[in-house]
Amino acid sequence: MQNRMPLVEAMLKYKNEKVYPFHTPGHKGGRGMEALLKNELGAGAVAMDVSLMSELDDIHAPSSYIMEAQNLAAQLYGSDRCFFAVNGTTGAIHAMLMAACKAGDKVLVPRNAHRSVAGALLLANLEPVFAMPEYDAVFGINTQITPQAVEAMFARHADIKAVLVTSPNYYGQAADLKAIAGIAHAHNAALLVDEAHGPHLGFSSKLPPSALQCGADACAQSTHKILGAMTQCSLLHVKGGRINLTRAAEAVSLLTTTSPNYLLMASIDAARYTLAVQGEKLIERALTAAEKLRKCLSKFAGLKLLEAECTGKNGIAGFDCTKVTVNTAAWGYSGTEAGDALRKAGIAVELTDAQSVLFLVTFADGGAEYDAVLEKISSVFADLEQHKRAPLKEQNCWKLPEFVTAVPLRSAFDAETESLPLKKAEGRICAEQVSFYPPGIPVLWPGELVTAEVIDYCLRMKKLGLPVSGPADYTLTELRVIK
Ligand SMILES: Cc1ncc(COP(=O)(O)O)c(C=O)c1O
């Protein structure tokens, strides 16, 4: 059953029929596309860029190929319904919260949730109550919320309707989802998991269990981040019971373009197929590639690697070893500086932060090309080692400042605003979302008090050279606050 790609097969059949299109897309199978791009994409791909049509099924009322493809994904992962999401995990998270909650509901949100969660709460008009994650002072990572923190939040807010957890986090650290699911369910709340970084979990005993295996009611996964799908492609999985499946379908449909890209959807179908037929073997390949990288980096005295030993503390219940994080602080380099040195050598990493570089390893890595890249990485670090500086002092200062909510999120978003120089915004109420990307964790949400600590945090992030995302002023020289 899993041995098929219903949507890919249907699209290939349609392409091979060579139907003349008097319909969108306007480039008509590439005929009207700029030649440079068309050539780069390839005639096959542009011919398969077809528009929504009944012959190829409709994502808004799936009844044939898309329905089959989504059902196969649901079956593979163990959900009751799976929805293809073509606006990334951001779109899947928007739909997940809208499906699980009604306007005005309270949602427990980790302080280090991704910015897409702010968007979801705004769109669905929900009220966040924030739980602080634990903090790893060595790596400067805001890790996971603990079951105890979740329990404590229910003691303060018995009316929480859903608990959102980001697991695993960017660095591969998973929360104790089983325990958190038990607590949420005991309080009649749904567990929703932002599993953007975990679409491969559950397919190898060497990885932490998946959100669904731990009892989550829904999860949103970035198929494009870790598996073989194209950028933007994600999955929303829903379990029936606490979440109404019809409402979930309605939420997804409302938030989805009426012109979904079929190539994107086909790439989700294909990624599911690959995972189904070869998943365990491919994850083994990814783990082997990551282990090789760890070996290469562990030769260097002073570099610290984030290892599976991080589990059992800081709210971390499991670790995905395919995420290789190396801390360069002892050599006096920020992760951003080390990332720049790697980039000059032709290597681009997933994330850099104040102290570390994060290499994202997948089953795409391996073979002779990969071995040659490891050699290059080794020589970049040998060079950095030769030019070692005094260790970085600011080792312990990346704990996210606690939120001080002054105005409800939605009211703050809708309020009259004015722009002030960031440094003069202390004591005012923020009207916009401010994050640095990656990891896209907002330092400020609309409605939060702008404290001296928050301003200092933003200035230090800016100094690192991380691009800011969210505020109207992309340089964050000014901040929009409530008038
Ligand atoms: C934890 C987390 N959640 C959600 C997202 C959003 O995913 P997407 O970029 O697919 O919209 C990201 C993206 O970086 C993320 O890191």
Which one of 83, 84, 86, 90 would you pick to mutate in the ligand 1 pocket, going by the greatest count of ligand atoms within 8 A of its CB?
A: 90
Q: Which helix (H) or strand (E) holds 283?
A: helix 262-298
Pick from 200, 162, 169, 201: nearest CA to 183: 162
- Sign of the alpha-carbon dihedral angle for 96, 100, 102, 108: negative
Q: Is the overall model pTM greater than 0.95, yes or no?
A: yes
Is residue 194 lining ligand 1, measured as CB closer than 6 Å? Answer: yes
The answer, yes or no, to whether residue 365 has pLDDT greater than 80, is yes
Q: Is the peptide bond before 421 cis (omega within 30 degrees of 0)?
A: no
Is residue 113 lining ligand 1, measured as CB closer than 6 Å? Answer: no
Is residue 440 lining ligand 1, measured as CB closer than 6 Å? Answer: yes
Of ligand 1's atoms, which has the minimum distance to the CA of residue 234?
10
Domains and CATH numbers, the chain: 280-386 (3.90.1150.10), 409-482 (3.90.100.10)
pLDDT for res 437: 86
Q: Are 268 and 69 in contact (CB under 8 A)?
A: yes
Q: Are 269 and 12 in contact (CB under 8 A)?
A: no
Which one of 114, 232, 437 would you pick to mutate in the ligand 1 pocket, going by the greatest count of ligand atoms within 8 A of its CB?
A: 114
Specify the range with the lowest mean pLDDT, choosing from 5-9, 47-51, 85-89, 267-271.
47-51
Is residue 90 lining ligand 1, measured as CB closer than 6 Å? Answer: yes
Distances (CA, A) of 313 to 137, 149, 310, 317, 388: 12, 14, 7, 8, 31
Using DSSP, state whether 399 is helix, strand or coil. coil
Is residue 234 lining ligand 1, measured as CB closer than 6 Å? Answer: yes
Condensed to tens digits (0 to 9), the pLDDT of residues 65-108 reads: 999 999 999 999 999 999 999 999 999 999 999 999 999 999 99
Pick from 97, 117, 94, 113: nearest CA to 105: 97
Query: How far, in Å, CA of 387 to CA of 383, rounded?
Result: 6
- 205 Cα to the center of ligand 1, angstroms: 25
The answer, yes or no, to whether residue 396 has pLDDT greater than 80, is no
Residue 237 tokens, joined: 């999985």
pLDDT for res 464: 86
Query: How far, in Å, CA of 364 to CA of 165, rounded?
Result: 28
- 116 Cα to the center of ligand 1, angstroms: 7
Is residue 140 lining ligand 1, measured as CB closer than 6 Å? Answer: no
Is residue 334 lining ligand 1, measured as CB closer than 6 Å? Answer: no
Identify the band that residue 470 occupies on the pLDDT scale cut at 50, 70 and 90: confident
The answer, yes or no, to whether residue 46 has pLDDT greater than 80, is yes
Q: Are 333 and 389 in contact (CB under 8 A)?
A: yes
pLDDT for res 466: 85
Residue 271 tokens, joined: 């990624």
pLDDT for res 471: 83
Of ligand 1's atoms, which has the minimum distance to the CA of residue 170?
16
* Helix-, strand-, coil-residue percentages of the chain, each rounded to 5: 40, 20, 45
The answer, yes or no, to whether residue 395 has pLDDT greater than 80, is no
Condensed to tens digits (0 to 9), the pLDDT of residues 224-275 reads: 999 999 999 999 999 999 999 999 999 999 999 999 999 999 999 999 999 9
Condensed to tens digits (0 to 9), the pLDDT of residues 265-303 reads: 999 999 999 999 999 999 999 999 999 999 999 999 999
Per-chain mean pLDDT for the chain: 96
Is residue 267 lining ligand 1, measured as CB closer than 6 Å? Answer: no
Of ligand 1's atoms, which has the minimum distance to the CA of residue 87?
11
Of ligand 1's atoms, which has the minimum distance to the CA of residue 91?
11
The answer, yes or no, to whether residue 394 has pLDDT greater than 80, is no
Is residue 70 lining ligand 1, measured as CB closer than 6 Å? Answer: no
The answer, yes or no, to whether residue 385 has pLDDT greater than 70, is yes
The answer, yes or no, to whether residue 118 has pLDDT greater than 70, is yes
Is residue 195 lining ligand 1, measured as CB closer than 6 Å? Answer: no
Identify the band that residue 476 occupies on the pLDDT scale cut at 50, 70 and 90: very high
- 117 Cα to the center of ligand 1, angstroms: 10
Is residue 315 lining ligand 1, measured as CB closer than 6 Å? Answer: no
pLDDT for res 136: 95
- 236 Cα to the center of ligand 1, angstroms: 13
Is residue 170 lining ligand 1, measured as CB closer than 6 Å? Answer: yes
- 440 Cα to the center of ligand 1, angstroms: 8
The b-or-e profile of 124-154 (16+ CB within 10 A means b, else e) is: bbbbbbbbbbbbbebbbbbbbbbbebbbebb
Query: How far, in Å, CA of 175 to CA of 180, rounded?
Result: 8
Is residue 88 lining ligand 1, measured as CB closer than 6 Å? Answer: yes
User: Between vectors from CA 121 to CA 192 and to CA 461, what angle results, nearest 5°?
Assistant: 95
